[in-house]
Amino acid sequence: MPPLANLRPGIGQPTIASMTWQFESQLIVAGVLGLALLWLRALRLERPAITGFELQRQLKMHDKHASRTAIFVERLPALQALRDVLALACMVVALATVFALAGVWWGIAIAFVGMLLIELSAKLRAIQRLSTRLYRGCEPAMIQLTYRLRWLLHPFASPQKAATSASFYSKAELAEQIRRDRSVLSHNEKTLLLTALDFESKTVADIMTPRRHMATASARDTLGPLTLDRLHRTGHSAFPVVEKTADNIVGILRLSEIVTRSNKLSRISDAMETEVMHIQADSPLEHALSLCLHSRQHMCIVLNPRSEVVGLVTLSDIIAQLLGRPLDGQATEVVQ
């Protein structure tokens, strides 16, 4: 029987523990590289849907998200090249590790199955969403890396294609395209489209007649020649009827009503309509238009948050804002 000393490993020979540790280390390295390769293969670095015009518009407004998007768009080709280079490096090192662990033939079989699983997993939506979330966390570092390795990434970077789309990202972009047009739209068509686009953002306060310019009638006035002459000279066909103070509007007077019933009326209060519609100054024009149509009233009295009269708005004003021009005649003075 050989002495125990002869069973000890010689100088330079690996022990079983060291061989096990080496095997486990290589296995861990191969696993980490496989996960990194899966992340890189699942990562979709694509140009955002935002157009160049809209991005520039948001940058002028000092939008922080727009600044980040602009940097991403600028570095996108380099980021895509960095992703591909890292994926290639991970794959080469992972294959070398697998071959060292399992030998050539087993290494080829394991590498084939592993790459197949990685490619199939990389197409799963859940994996792609997780890859994107991981990328967001390390995006600043990856962008900095593209600057440091620009000499290496330049040959791999694909030229960036400009975004081409028949759609528009925002109303502002569509409005700008309409303004730039020189061949398709006439001047009137441009005006109509631009005012229609702007209609949604307008409020009653933007187009109302201020209180200081309101032509009113007093409920106590008699319908004599002097009163009628004063009303006719204003050029209006309908008037808010006040009693005592301008905040106390008790009705709406229409000149057409006076003409048809002139022998039966003595005071303005006899001819006025007692239904008065009120609307807040910060209400959108869409609400004002809906209120006029549903109530069959041509005029709305505009109030501030303290319920004080600050002006009036008419159906003609609203439609003129929608069309981009004053109406011809008095077609909407009476809502049918």
Gap between the terminal Cα atoms of the chain: 121
pLDDT of residue 173: 64
pTM of the complete model: 0.48
Residue 171 within a domain: no
Query: DSSP secondary-structure letter at 306?
Result: T
Domain of residue 272, CATH code: 3.10.580.10
- pLDDT tens digit string along 108-142? 898 899 899 999 999 999 999 999 999 988 888 99
pLDDT of residue 279: 92
Phi, psi of 120 (to 5 degrees): -70, -40
Token duo for residue 28: 């861990």
Cβ–Cβ < 8 Å for 261, 271: yes
pLDDT of residue 149: 87
**Domain endpoint, select from 156, 183, 210:** 156
Q: For the packed helices 64-102 and 52-60, what is the interaxial angle rounded to 10 degrees?
A: 120
Residue 295 within a domain: yes
Tell me: do 33 and 129 sit in the same domain.
Answer: yes
pLDDT of residue 178: 67
pLDDT of residue 42: 92
Residue 135 within a domain: yes
Token duo for residue 154: 């330049």
Residue 313 within a domain: yes
pLDDT of residue 4: 41
Provide the residue count of the chain.
336
CA 270 to chain centre: 53
Helix (H, G, I), strand (E, B) or coil at 9: coil
Tell me: do 246 and 298 sit in the same domain.
Answer: yes
Residue 168 within a domain: no
Tell me: do 146 and 233 sit in the same domain.
Answer: no
Phi, psi of 303 (to 5 degrees): -120, 155
Q: What would the DSSP string read from start to end of 77-109?
A: HHHHHHHHHHHHHHHHHHHHHHHHHH-HHHHHH
Per the structure, the complete domain to which residue 27 belongs is given by 14-156
Total domain count, the chain: 2
The greatest distance separating any two alpha carbons of the chain, rounded to the nearest whole angstrom, comes to 143
Residue 331 within a domain: no
Tell me: do 44 and 143 sit in the same domain.
Answer: yes
The C-alpha atoms of residue 72 and residue 45 are separated, in whole angstroms, by 10
Residue 192 within a domain: no
The C-alpha atoms of residue 93 and residue 96 are separated, in whole angstroms, by 5
299-303 and 209-210 strand pairing: unpaired
pLDDT along the chain (336 residues), means of 10: 45 63 80 90 84 70 80 86 91 88 86 90 92 90 88 78 53 67 69 72 88 86 79 84 85 78 68 88 88 86 90 87 64 38
Residue 253 within a domain: yes
The C-alpha atoms of residue 132 and residue 79 are separated, in whole angstroms, by 13
pLDDT of residue 196: 72
Token duo for residue 169: 């990202």
The secondary structure element, H or E, covering residue 299 is: strand 299-303
